[in-house]
Structure 1
Amino acid sequence: MIKGLVIMIVAALPLFVHAQNEEYALSSYLSEGVKAPNTHHLGDAWLNFLVKADDDFDKNITQATFGPNATLDWHKHVTNQVIIVVAGEGYYQERGKEPIVIKKGDVIHCMKDTEHWHTSSADSSVSYIAIYGKQPTIWTEKLTRAYYDSVAQKLKGK
């Protein structure tokens, strides 16, 4: 089901970008979006709200771009989340598991209620499209700079 949704979204995105009639609401994943306030992250981050959930479509589709060496706090969602890395390199970790490097082309399926974090690597920005339900993100714990730095050191060169 998730794979089908991802294929549908990837196939439909060019239609939004290349539509010829200005009466349609257009968005583009090529846009950086708006600079995010440093509420649940450290460093530079931009959010591009591609599709907002409503009564007819119950998924948010957001592109997030993090500058190098940015952090994102631990959080979870009450629905599954799919992360599609479209540029750069970053880190991803679920609570109780080892952190991993994520790169352009990677797709992550995070199960509902799974505490996790994801952001750029120490030396690279990362941009990903996140697909998740319309319920708000549940922020659970601050990701400290010391912890992020230890992950960056551990994953350096992987």
Structure 2
Amino acid sequence: MTKHEELKNGNVFSVGEKNEAYAKYFVGQSYLKSLVADPKVNVGVGNVTFEPGCRNNWHIHNGGYQLLLVTGGEGWYQEEGKSAQFLKAGDVIVTHDGVKHWHGATKDSWFEHIAITAGTPEWLEPVNDETYNKL
């Protein structure tokens, strides 16, 4: 059974549309609802929802950072060279400039977070199935 299936209908914020613009940087299906897209504000704020098993590729934020505010479900966050961290609602992640990392849902749960992002993302290789399936 899939955990936290209610997230597919939205939680605090709307689930948004299928994340087609960034689909090539994800394994599985994600959804994106832009919350702040003001050109006078130098950060993007979006609600990102992941179907079970969905995760983004390894990536780096250059000249900025990323804050993740977990609002629902169960997920993972991992920085290169460190163990993956299990995430649940209420967790906060701070990713500093230049840190290679990935995040996404667990295999059996929907996952949702608010991403506050500054700088330019550099998208890298996918998280391989072997690494992900060991979690």
TM-score (norm. length: structure 1) = 0.72
- Shifted more, 138-147 versus 43-52: the winner is 138-147
Counterpart for residue 139 of structure 1: 123
AA aligned to 1:57 is: V
The unaligned stretches of length 5 or more in structure 2 are 1-10
**Using the alignment, how far apart are the partners of 1:53 and 1:111 within structure 2?**
22
Counterpart for residue 90 of structure 1: 75
Counterpart for residue 113 of structure 1: 98
Counterpart for residue 101 of structure 1: 86
Larger Rg: 1
- Cα offsets for 1:70-104 (capped at 9, x unmatched): 12110011211110000111000001111010100
2:45 to 50, 61, 77: 61
TM-score (norm. length: structure 2) = 0.84
**Using the alignment, how far apart are the partners of 1:125 and 1:41 within structure 2?**
15
Cα shift at 1:122: 1.0
- Is the counterpart of residue 76 in structure 1 residue 60 in structure 2? yes
| Structure showing the higher strand proportion among its residues | 2
CA contact (8 A) 2:27 2:126 kept: no
AA aligned to 1:77 is: H
CA contact (8 A) 1:73 1:143 kept: yes
Which stretches of structure 1, 4 residues or longer, exceed 3 Å deviation after superposition? none
> Sequence identity, in percent?
32
| Structure showing the higher helix proportion among its residues | 1
**Using the alignment, how far apart are the partners of 1:71 and 1:145 within structure 2?**
11
Counterpart for residue 18 of structure 2: 35
**Using the alignment, how far apart are the partners of 2:131 and 2:42 within structure 1?**
34
2:24 partner SS: coil
Structure with the bigger RCO (C-alpha within 8 Å, sep 6+) is 2
Residue-pair matches, total: 122
Cα shift at 1:69: 1.1
2:46 partner SS: strand
Change (3 A) 1:53 1:144: farther
